[in-house]
Amino acid sequence: MTMDVCEIVTKRIIEKLESGVVPWKKPWNGRGGATRWSVKKPYRGINALLLEPGEYASKKQIIKAGGRINRDQLKNGHIIVYWHWYKIKEEGQEDIPDDEATYQKRAKPFYSRVWDINTQCTGLKSKFNDDDILDFNPIEKAEELISRYEDIPKIKNGPGGAYYIPALDILNMPPVENFHSAEEYYSTLFHELVHSTGHDSRLNREGIIQISSFFGTDSYSKEELIAEMGSCMLSAMAGIDNSTIDNSAAYINGWLSKLKGDKRFIFSAASQAQKAVDYMTGIAFEEEQREEATA
């Protein structure tokens, strides 16, 4: 039986986790994460998770630009996911009207392949130059990202661990000197801030608003994954390398269990993590559609 796109992607994530690799943690390379070479824009959501830092293009884009995929790399294209929205007829409805307000839409995932133009292709030049190297202080950038969070919860610097209390909408962070590095401090702070976006006055996320969401439950496990992915996205934006910060084995085992039981789990978590980051930073992009597959 042919696997669908959700099964293919989930299988890859499971294989990486079981081999000890946490795929949403990326090393910092000075140019941010994976980008779409044709438009010089970052990949988002699940695709940011699937791809290592680099500049990627579809086979059609590469050929059109006068390049070619190296022969030994033809079978090594990287999977990306795109979504096709289609209209649904309601019961008793003969035709689907053009007015978007009068019909339902549903998204179906597809996948295509892209290649890194710098390591897998010949004849194409990077669209980055020396001026594009992100030369800034990661800590200052982290603070700048946090300052964009308009309705940020109150942050207390009290004793104990880092945690967010939804009922009080308060976040506690130990002093920075309690961490091994400033990078670890901000990675942890990002994690807790992503949790706070789930408050019922913000994104109203199940894992935060449900009283029954506690360690070991499905909603807790998913909320932790959302916060972890969101923290990694924010760290990448700030230039913080969090690839060496370890995750609890209990969390990883919990994620593996969910991934094996629900092929859409990783898609939902990545989407909600991206929404949390967008909410915090006030940044919104047009959703990636079918560009890599059709351009």
pTM score, whole prediction:
0.83
Per-state percent for the chain, helix, strand, coil, to nearest 5: 40, 15, 40
Please give the Cα distance from 215 to 251 (Å, whole number): 9
3-state secondary structure of 198: coil
Number of Cβ within 10 Å of residue 249's Cβ equals: 8
Q: Which pLDDT value is given to residue 241?
A: 79
pLDDT score, position 247: 66
User: What is the sign of the dihedral through the CA atoms of 47, 48, 51 and 55?
Assistant: positive
Give the count of domains, the chain.
1
SS3 188: helix
Give me the pLDDT at residue 92, please: 56
Could you report the per-residue pLDDT of 70-100, keeping only the tens digit for each? Answer: 999 999 999 999 887 766 666 655 555 555 5
Q: Please report the pLDDT score of residue 294 as a whole number.
A: 43
Q: What is the pLDDT of residue 245?
A: 67
Interatomic CA distance for residues 26 and 33, integer angstroms = 8
Residue 133: phi and psi, rounded to 5, are -60, 125
Interior CA angle at 114 toward 295 and 28, to 5°? 120
What CA–CA distance (Å, rounded) separates 242 from 33?
A: 13
Those residues of the chain that have pLDDT short of 50 are 1-2, 101-102, 286-295
pLDDT at 169: 97
Q: Which domain holds residue 75?
A: 5-294
Q: Give residue 212's pLDDT.
A: 64
